[in-house]
């Protein structure tokens, strides 16, 4: 890493160990590398949740259409399995990247993680409570789904405030609105709305994040090339 | 080359500082994790960290995880400012080179 990259044809070796253009390139490359080692990848997480929601809710919807509006047991098992897999991968991926750091940002992250657990700990008690109070299967299904959307959406919105991450805000807003639309549509259409608007929405956000990522990288590359040409000895 | 901070303007130290600058200002990173991100040997990294610490750019704090001692590293506010100034000087140099 200490040898001088021959960005200037080798005709005019730089007086310093390396030129300003090399220096800026090393700086950018290293920061890219550091981010991909320390910060969870939003594209990966969005893709993961997009596939889980799209496939899982389509299974629920298909099954509910065949059996008088209520999905079958196996359909719920497949749905639960997909969500559980997405949760495990999210936790492992985030823990791997954020492990080995500590501080206020890290502390906020841990508290935020606990809040997720608390919310979903209380969740089944609320659903159980309305079931015991005599709610029909349709009502239980609607509340279970709508409440989950509100928890997940609002958690992302608070996460965006915690970590100054605009991407999380878009994600949270989208989930809260999807929950509202899906609940007002009614069963079993709720599941189709969740699959298409929710799962499909995640996939669209993945695509947008990828385009932004590529565009940013291209802009940085062309900026560096132009800088290298301007700096090059052949320019005068 | 004018006015580039000599403490930062060396490939290995530039990579160390650039990595630390991606952390939240309130966060710290363990020595092994930093070493893993940089792909440097422990001895090499220690040498560069000492130079950065001597310049007041890096803060080293020791803690214990159970019985194991853990070393945490972070940029000081002075170090963060120096890195920002360095990046600005670099960009200015590259822009100016075309004129």
Do residues A33 and A225 lie in contact, with contact meaning Cβ atoms separated by under 8 Å? no
pLDDT at A5: 42
Q: How far is A235 from chain B (nearest CA, A)?
A: 8
Q: What is the mean pLDDT of chain A?
A: 83
Per-residue pLDDT, A70: 81
pLDDT at residue A72, as a whole number:
87
Lowest mean pLDDT among A147-156, A162-171, A223-232, B29-38: A223-232
- The pLDDT, as a whole number, for residue B13 is 94
Question: What mean pLDDT is predicted for residues A173-186?
Answer: 94
> What's the confidence (pLDDT) of residue A97?
85
Say yes or no for a CB contact (<8 Å) between B29 and A105.
no
Distance (Å, whole) CA B35 – CA B31? 6
* Rounded (10°) CA dihedral A106, A108, A109, A111: 130
Do A235 and A229 meet the contact criterion of CB atoms below 8 Å apart? yes
CA dihedral B40, B41, B42, B48 (to 10 degrees): -60
A39 vs B2, which has greater pLDDT? A39
Between residues A183 and B6, the one the model is more confident about: A183
**pLDDT over 50 at B99, yes or no:** no
**Percent of chain A residues past pLDDT 90, beyond the cut:** 38
Sheet containing B27-30, strands listed edge to edge, beginning at the edge strand earlier in sequence: A101-103, B27-30, B68-75, B58-65
For A87-136, write each residue's pLDDT tens digit.
889 888 888 888 888 887 777 878 888 898 899 889 989 999 999 999 99
- Region of poorest pLDDT, from A47-51, A133-137, A217-221: A217-221
ipTM of the complex: 0.87
pLDDT of residue A6: 38
Task: Examine the pLDDT at A34 and tell me if it is beyond 70.
Answer: yes
User: Taking 90 as the threshold, does the pLDDT of residue B6 lie above it?
Assistant: no
Domains identified in chain B and CATH numbers: 11-88 (1.10.10.10)
Under an 8 A CB cutoff, do A34 and B19 touch? yes
pLDDT over threshold 60, residue A233: no
Pairwise pLDDT comparison (A190 vs A19), residue with the higher score: A190
Q: pLDDT confidence of A219, banded at 50, 70, 90?
A: confident
The distance of B28 to chain A (nearest Cα, Å) reads 5
**CA dihedral sign of residues A54, A59, A62, A68:** negative
Residue A142 banded pLDDT, cuts 50, 70, 90: very high
Model confidence at A9, pLDDT cuts 50, 70, 90, reads: very low
Q: Which of A2, A14, A105 sits opposite B27 (nearest CB)?
A: A105
pLDDT at residue A40, rounded to an integer: 80
Say whether B14 and A15 touch across the interface (CB within 8 A).
Answer: no
- What pLDDT, on a 0 to 100 scale, did the predictor assign at position A228? 58
Residue of B nearest to A22 (CA): B11
The backbone torsions φ and ψ at residue A3, rounded to the nearest 5 degrees and listed phi first, read: -75, 150
What does the DSSP assignment read for chain B? --S--TTT-SHHHHHHHHHHHTS-TTEEEEHHHHHHHHT--HHHHHHHHHHHHHTT-EEEEEEEETTEEEEEEEE-HHHHHHHHHHHHHHHHHHHHHT-
Inter-chain CB proximity A30 and B14 less than 8 Å:
yes
What is the rounded distance in angstroms from the CA atom of residue A201 to the CA atom of residue A83? 16
pLDDT for residue A10 is more than 60? no
First to last CA, chain A: 29
On the question of pLDDT at B18 being above 90, the answer is yes
- Alpha helix segments (H runs only) across A20-136: 20-38, 42-66, 73-98, 104-132
């Amino acid at each position: 890493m200490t040898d001088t990259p021959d960005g200037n044809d080798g005709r005019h070796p730089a007086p310093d160990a390396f030129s300003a253009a090399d220096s800026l390139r090393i700086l950018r490359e290293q920061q890219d590398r550091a981010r991909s080692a320390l910060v969870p990848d939003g594209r990966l997480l969005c893709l993961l949740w997009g596939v889980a929601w799209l496939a899982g809710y389509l299974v629920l919807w298909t099954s509910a259409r065949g059996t008088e509006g209520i999905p079958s047991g196996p359909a719920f098992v497949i749905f639960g399995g997909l969500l559980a897999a997405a949760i495990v991968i999210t936790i492992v991926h985030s823990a791997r990247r954020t492990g080995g750091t500590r501080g206020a940002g890290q502390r906020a992250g841990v508290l935020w993680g606990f809040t997720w657990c608390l919310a979903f700990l209380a969740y089944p008690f609320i659903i159980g409570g309305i079931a015991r109070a005599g709610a029909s299967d349709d009502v239980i299904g609607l509340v279970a789904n709508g409440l989950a959307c509100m928890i997940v959406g609002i958690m992302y919105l608070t996460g965006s405030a915690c970590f100054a991450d605009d991407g999380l805000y878009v994600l949270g807003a989208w989930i809260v609105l999807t929950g509202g639309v899906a609940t007002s549509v009614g069963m079993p259409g709720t599941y189709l709305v969740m699959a298409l608007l929710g799962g499909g929405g995640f996939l669209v956000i993945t695509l947008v994040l990828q385009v932004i990522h590529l565009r940013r990288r291209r802009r940085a590359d062309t900026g560096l090339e132009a800088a290298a040409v301007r700096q090059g000895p052949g320019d005068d | 080359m004018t006015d580039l901070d000599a403490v930062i303007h060396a490939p290995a130290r530039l990579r160390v500082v650039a990595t630390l600058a991606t952390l939240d200002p309130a966060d710290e990173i363990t020595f092994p994790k930093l070493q893993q991100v940089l792909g440097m040997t422990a001895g090499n990294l220690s040498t560069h960290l000492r130079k950065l610490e001597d310049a007041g750019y890096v803060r080293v704090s020791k803690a214990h995880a159970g019985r194991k001692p853990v070393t945490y590293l972070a940029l000081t506010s002075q170090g963060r400012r120096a890195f920002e100034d360095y990046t600005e000087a670099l960009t200015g140099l590259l822009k100016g080179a075309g004129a």
